[in-house]
Structure 1
Amino acid sequence: MTPTIRKPSPTAGGAERMTDHRPDAGQPVTAVGEVRAGGSPDGGRLDYGGPWRRVSRKYVGVVVAESIVTGVVLAGISLFFALVIGAWFGWWMLGASVLVTVVLLVVAPRRARAIGFQLRDDDLLFRQGIMFFRIVAVPYGRMQLIDINRGPLARVLGLSDLKFVTAAASTGVSIPGLPAAEADKLRDRLVALAESRRSGL
């Protein structure tokens, strides 16, 4: 077995990435970005220097409710094609809708557990996804707006969504499933961090 040697190599902005120097190694994996299935920190392949903070367990209920709503909408469209228009493929669509809903309900707990974030020295690191693992780093100094959203079901469960708006729309991040009190404290802390970074303190 060929030994694996990992050495830090410089990247743009002074950051470092871990490069696999094995002869049969694939492309290097950068520390921040979108990672394919199997490249999550839980798999032990990437290290981000700290523990991940998870969302509330109650958020599973929100994910389950969203999955059921998605299934009902898809089933309604399928029945429209099957009963109103009389299209034969409407019944196939209905079966596919049921299958999709079952899959969404089965993976709902895993989808909720896959969400996490870290507060690092200079940025907030956010992760989500199962098959396509997405990791985004949001520098405190680029945060322009920090908003708290509470939907009807989230209010019943005492949860909030914390949304960050930055200069680049592609780096917008929303952390769902936070307890209301924790979301308020995190918002105040991030506002203070953003102001200190922008003022150069």
Structure 2
Amino acid sequence: MNRDLSFSIGADVPFNRVSPKYGLKEVLASLTLLVPLFIAALVFAIIFTSEVPWLHVIWIAVLAYGIISTIIILRQARAIGYAEREDDLLVRRGIMFHRATVVPYGRLQFVDVDAGPIDRMFGLATVKLHTASAATDATIPGLPRAEADRLRDSLAGLGQANLAGL
């Protein structure tokens, strides 16, 4: 029936996507945990294969998990987007469970731009929007630093202008 009812709020809105570098950064972060596990499973399988012949299945399972999680991470990164509309900011995310958050400019209290060491290596930043209600707080990860700064300044200005109109 209404398969995409939850996402109809932004169906006709053109969204800006996050940087493709964000997906790469998330994959590399995932691999830092997966590679040691893969190596340990492979070494364990090589050492004990003669005693337990089916042990090679473990490292194949770890490899398959790595490939599947990489595909999912890249698709999740492509699904993140935001749209600056006249009265609010619309943030969407999710490939399986879609989520759209509407942040009215008049409700913005402050806007943060965060960039950790790995984000800075990739030239990325995260914009965090804080409102009076925790339910409408939003985060936009993986923006190029210049775009994050521009968005912060734009949203802060719109927040002040709309707050004054209340």
Partner of 1:14: none
| Cα RMSD after superposing both structures | 2.9
Query: 83, 88, 97: which one pairs with 1:132?
Result: 97
Aligned amino acid, residue 134 of structure 1: R
Aligned amino acid, residue 29 of structure 2: E
Aligned partner of residue 50 in structure 1, secondary structure: coil
Matched, 1:171 2:136: yes
Unaligned runs of 5+ in 2: 45-54
Shift of residue 51, structure 1, vs aligned partner: 0.9
Partner of 1:188: 153
Query: 101, 105, 120: which one pairs with 2:85?
Result: 120
Unaligned runs of 5+ in 1: 1-24, 30-34, 83-90
Deviations 1:129-172 (A, max 9, x none): 11101111011111112001101121011111000111111222
What is the aligned residue count? 152
* Higher relative helix content: 2
* TM-score normalised by L of structure 2: 0.76
Aligned amino acid, residue 185 of structure 1: R
Query: 3, 13, 30: which one pairs with 1:50?
Result: 13
Instruction: Write out the 4+ residue segments of structure 1 that deviate beyond 2 Å after TM superposition.
Output: 25-29, 45-50, 69-73, 91-102
* TM-score normalised by L of structure 1: 0.64
Distance in 2 (CA, whole Å) between partners of 1:47 and 1:169 is 21
Report % sequence identity: 39
Distance 1:96 1:184, change over 3 A: same
Deviations 1:65-95 (A, max 9, x none): 232245369x49x98xx9xxxxxxxx89987
Query: 8, 23, 33: which one pairs with 1:60?
Result: 23
Shift of residue 102, structure 1, vs aligned partner: 2.5
> Which structure has the higher relative contact order (CA within 8 Å, separation 6+)?
2
